[in-house]
């Protein structure tokens, strides 16, 4: 039985096509993936992302503990700062990718993927060891909306009355809105400017209603969340990161701080970085319009050299493009590769895995 | 309510055949295009290729998913609708006007295994 977010009834009433995702019944689309995608690129869209998991870490050793399980470096970070990074297994494989919010000197909020909540929380508890920390899984009581697009700041300020214009990219504030404590952060998963807001269910539902009533934010489903993040080369756990795909293989080494004295998986990813990973996530642009999709084979010299992890005919550019995990020998920019699509080979070329420019407000 | 046209032959996998003499025009039904959503790519065989009843001959794709096209009849592809290469959305605008391939039928008895408009309308309502 899939779980439902606090906005389930709103989605159904809005005519959303509901699908199972990460253990939840989530809206795939309302009006259509293309319309919703374009709304986020050109105006403003709102996503229910209440399925995401939230874990709060507190205690005297909170910072040391986060440093131990997280690849990025939060040492001495000021309150209000956000870090993207990963939790790794000892062998360098990825447990999950996540955001870490610095709530105070000894308090952190970790935002994790819905499909991984149980696995991650069990992993976090197993890594406590002698750290003096308290871990609380708040996933079931915390709702979340993502308001994304070039008009996101105006909509969040004017429709929701939230004071967010002064937030820099990857920072947040804790605020009191309508009598409840909420978190507002300048983050997202679309490549556009935007905000993610966290709060209790009733407040999240009230925000959703205000946004719908205003007509200034189009309701957007997981369908366009994937096309948007894909176009700007952002990874999805399960596609471009997994227990088998390390952040080094995924080209996300800048979020792995090897100058930190230690963290779980450090030795393995340090070795991968030094020797070069055996496989890499690359971008591939196709010559025609055939559409590469997850799991399709990547071929070179008549041999399989990899698999597509995510692919689309880009809504923003019209070009057929994909990300793929390929043997390192075939990962250089400009390398010709074929993709097997519906029993035929289609010619492509390795390109940067960014098919559309990000428009962040920094 | 999706459109269904009298006089065409229909398959359970939502392709139609419009027969003109010894040729059949094969496409997807209005019901199929409405279920798929915006068509962004149509994968088609080449002229001269053989298609076989019950076997895939291409795919019609939305942003999110690819659906195999299953040929309702056997024969040689004599023409493909090249307009769909650049404007696949024509399938959404009028699925019956925008056929996908034209086939020279090799066995017109295969048509007997397909549904007529009334049977197909009933099948879609199930």
Quick check: A339 contacting B, CB < 8 Å? no
Q: State the pLDDT confidence band at A361, using cuts at 50, 70 and 90.
A: confident
DSSP state of A156: H
Higher pLDDT, B126 or A123: A123
Nearest-CA residue of chain A relative to B35? Answer: A17
Q: Is A332 helix (H, G, I), strand (E, B) or coil?
A: coil
pLDDT value of position B49: 96
Find the CB nearest B63 among A34, A289, A342: A34
Q: Other CB atoms closer than 10 Å to residue A235's CB: what's the count?
A: 24
Quick check: A117 contacting B, CB < 8 Å? no
Q: Tell whether the model's pLDDT for residue A231 goes beyond 80.
A: yes
Q: Other CB atoms closer than 10 Å to residue A213's CB: what's the count?
A: 9
Q: State the complex-level ipTM.
A: 0.85
Q: Which residues are registered as beta bridge partners of B43? A: B59
Q: State the pLDDT confidence band at B126, using cuts at 50, 70 and 90.
A: confident
Q: Tell whether the model's pLDDT for residue A362 goes beyond 80.
A: no
pLDDT value of position B11: 97
- Chain B residues near residue A290 by CB distance under 8 angstroms: 41, 43
Confirm if A307 and A292 have CB atoms less than 8 A apart: no
Confirm if A312 and A361 have CB atoms less than 8 A apart: no
pLDDT value of position A105: 87
Q: Tell whether the model's pLDDT for residue A345 goes beyond 90.
A: yes
- Chain B residues near residue A315 by CB distance under 8 angstroms: 63
- Assess whether the region A8-47+140-231 and the region A278-362 belong to the same CATH fold: no
Q: Which of A229, A289, A314, A316 to mutate to test the interface with B (most CBs of B within 10 A)?
A: A289
Q: What is the pLDDT of residues A2-33, one digit of tens each?
A: 999 999 999 999 999 999 999 999 999 999 99
> Quick one: average pLDDT of A148-163?
97
In the predicted model, what is the mean pLDDT of chain A?
97
Token pair listed for B121: 């309308």
Q: Do B56 and A342 touch (CB under 8 A)?
A: yes
Q: What is the pLDDT of residues B55-99, one digit of tens each?
A: 999 999 999 989 999 999 999 999 999 999 999 999 999 999 999
Token pair listed for A147: 């308001």
Find the CB nearest B41 among A29, A33, A290: A290
Could you write out the DSSP letters of every residue in B1-52?
-----TT-EE-TTSEEEEEETTEEEEEE-HHHHHHH-SEEEEE---TT-EE-
What is the CA A241 to chain-centroid distance, rounded? 11
Q: Do B63 and A223 touch (CB under 8 A)?
A: yes
CA distance B59 to chain A (A): 7
Q: Is A323 helix (H, G, I), strand (E, B) or coil?
A: strand
For chain A, what are the domain ranges? 8-47+140-231, 54-135, 278-362
Percent of residues, chain A, with pLDDT higher than 70: 100
What is the CA A357 to chain-centroid distance, rounded? 17
Q: Is B85 helix (H, G, I), strand (E, B) or coil?
A: helix
Q: Which residues are registered as beta bridge partners of A279? A: A327
Q: Do A289 and B85 touch (CB under 8 A)?
A: yes
Q: Tell whether the model's pLDDT for residue B103 goes beyond 80.
A: yes
Q: Tell whether the model's pLDDT for residue B105 goes beyond 80.
A: yes
Q: Tell whether the model's pLDDT for residue A131 goes beyond 80.
A: yes
A8-47+140-231, what's its fold? Gyrase A; domain 2 (3.30.1360)
Closest alpha carbon to A320 in A276, A279, A287: A287
Q: Other CB atoms closer than 10 Å to residue A76's CB: what's the count?
A: 9
pLDDT value of position B74: 98
CATH architecture assignment, domain A278-362:
Beta Barrel (2.40)
Find the largest Cα–Cα distance for chain B: 38
Q: State the pLDDT confidence band at A215, using cuts at 50, 70 and 90.
A: very high
- Chain A residues near residue B40 by CB distance under 8 angstroms: 291, 313
pLDDT value of position A343: 86
Confirm if A332 and A252 have CB atoms less than 8 A apart: no
d(CA A280, CA A277): 7
Q: Which helix (H) or strand (E) holds B58?
A: strand B56-62
Q: What is the pLDDT of residues A35-53, one digit of tens each?
A: 999 999 999 999 999 999 9
Find the CB nearest B38 among A32, A312, A342: A32
d(CA A70, CA A55): 14
Cβ-based neighbours of A330, under 8 Å, separated by 6 or more: A282, A298, A300, A305, A306, A337, A350
pLDDT value of position A307: 98
pLDDT value of position B120: 97
Spell out the alpha helix ranges (H) of chain A.
8-13, 33-42, 62-69, 117-126, 152-158, 201-214, 222-231, 266-275
Token pair listed for A146: 């993502």
What is the distance between the terminal CA atoms of chain A, rounded to a whole angstrom?
41
d(CA A340, CA A292): 8
Q: State the pLDDT confidence band at A303, using cuts at 50, 70 and 90.
A: very high
Q: What is the pLDDT of residues A62-107, one digit of tens each?
A: 999 999 999 999 999 999 999 999 999 999 999 999 999 999 989 9
Percent of residues, chain A, with pLDDT higher than 90: 98
Q: Tell whether the model's pLDDT for residue B1 goes beyond 80.
A: no
For chain B, what are the domain ranges? 10-108
DSSP state of A3: B
Residue A210 to residues A200, A280, B87: CA-CA distances in angstroms?
16, 44, 38
pLDDT value of position A4: 97
Q: Tell whether the model's pLDDT for residue A216 goes beyond 80.
A: yes
Q: Which helix (H) or strand (E) holds B117?
A: helix B117-125
Q: Tell whether the model's pLDDT for residue A203 goes beyond 90.
A: yes
> Quick one: average pLDDT of A261-275?
97
CA distance B6 to chain A (A): 30
What's the CATH class of domain A54-135?
Answer: alpha beta
DSSP state of B98: S
Quick check: A313 contacting B, CB < 8 Å? yes
Closest alpha carbon to A265 in A241, A252, A248, A240: A248
Interface of B with A (CB under 8 A): 37-38, 40-41, 43, 56, 58-59, 61-64, 66, 68, 85
Strands (E), chain A: 17-21, 24-29, 45-48, 53-58, 82-88, 94-104, 107-112, 134-137, 142-148, 172-177, 180-185, 194-200, 218-220, 279-286, 297-300, 303-313, 320-327, 336-341, 344-351
Residue A262: Cβ-neighbour burial (10 angstroms; 0-12, 13-18, 19+): exposed
Token pair listed for B125: 């309502």
d(CA B70, CA B47): 17
Q: Which of A222, A227, A291, A343 to mutate to test the interface with B (most CBs of B within 10 A)?
A: A291
Quick check: A312 contacting B, CB < 8 Å? yes
| CATH number, domain B10-108 | 2.40.50.100
pLDDT value of position B37: 87
- Chain B residues near residue A312 by CB distance under 8 angstroms: 63
Q: Do B63 and A33 touch (CB under 8 A)?
A: yes
Quick check: A322 contacting B, CB < 8 Å? no
């Amino acid at each position: 039985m899939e779980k439902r977010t606090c906005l389930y009834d709103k989605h159904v009433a809005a005519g959303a096509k509901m699908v199972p995702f990460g253990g939840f019944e989530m809206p795939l689309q309302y009006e259509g993936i293309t319309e919703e995608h374009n709304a986020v690129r050109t105006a403003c869209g709102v996503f229910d992302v209440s399925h995401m998991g939230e874990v709060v870490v507190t205690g005297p050793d909170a910072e040391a503990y986060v440093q131990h399980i997280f690849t990025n470096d939060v040492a001495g970070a000021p309150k209000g700062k956000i870090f993207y990074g990963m939790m790794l297994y000892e062998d360098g494989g990825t447990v999950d990718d996540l955001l870490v919010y610095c709530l105070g000197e000894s308090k952190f909020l970790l935002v994790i993927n819905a499909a991984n909540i149980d696995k991650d929380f069990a992993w976090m508890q197993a890594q406590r060891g002698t750290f003096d920390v308290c871990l609380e899984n708040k996933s079931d009581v915390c709702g979340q909306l993502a308001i994304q697009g070039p008009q996101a700041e105006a909509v969040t300020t004017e429709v929701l009355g939230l004071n967010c214009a002064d937030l820099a990219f990857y920072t947040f504030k804790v605020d009191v809105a309508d009598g409840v404590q909420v978190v507002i952060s300048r983050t997202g998963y679309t490549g556009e400017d935007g905000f993610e807001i966290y709060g209790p269910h009733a407040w999240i539902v009230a925000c959703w209603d205000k946004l719908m009533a205003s007509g200034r934010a189009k309701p957007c489903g997981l369908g366009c969340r994937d096309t948007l993040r894909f176009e700007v080369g952002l990874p999805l756990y399960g596609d471009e990161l997994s227990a088998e795909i390390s952040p080094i293989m995924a080209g996300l080494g800048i979020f792995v701080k090897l100058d930190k004295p230690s963290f779980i998986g450090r030795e393995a990813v340090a070795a991968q970085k030094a020797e070069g990973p055996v496989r890499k996530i690359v971008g591939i642009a196709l010559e025609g319009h055939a559409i590469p999709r997850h799991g399709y084979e990547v071929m070179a010299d008549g041999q399989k050299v990899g698999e597509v992890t995510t692919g689309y005919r880009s809504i923003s550019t019209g070009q057929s493009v994909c990300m793929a995990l390929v043997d390192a020998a075939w990962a250089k920019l400009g390398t010709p590769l074929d993709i097997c699509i519906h029993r035929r080979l289609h010619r492509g070329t390795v390109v940067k895995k960014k098919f559309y420019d990000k428009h962040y407000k920094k | 309510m999706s459109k269904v046209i009298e006089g065409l032959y229909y398959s359970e996998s939502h392709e139609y055949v419009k027969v003109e003499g010894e040729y059949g025009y094969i496409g997807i039904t209005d019901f199929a295009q409405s279920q798929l959503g915006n068509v962004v790519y149509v994968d088609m065989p080449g002229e001269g290729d053989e298609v076989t009843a019950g076997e895939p001959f291409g795919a019609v794709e939305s942003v999110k998913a690819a659906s195999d096209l299953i040929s309702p009849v056997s024969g040689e592809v004599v023409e493909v609708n090249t307009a769909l290469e650049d404007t696949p959305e024509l399938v959404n605008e009028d699925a019956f006007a925008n056929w996908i391939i034209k086939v020279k039928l090799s066995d017109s008895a295969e048509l007997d295994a397909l549904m007529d408009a009334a049977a197909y309308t009933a099948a879609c309502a199930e």
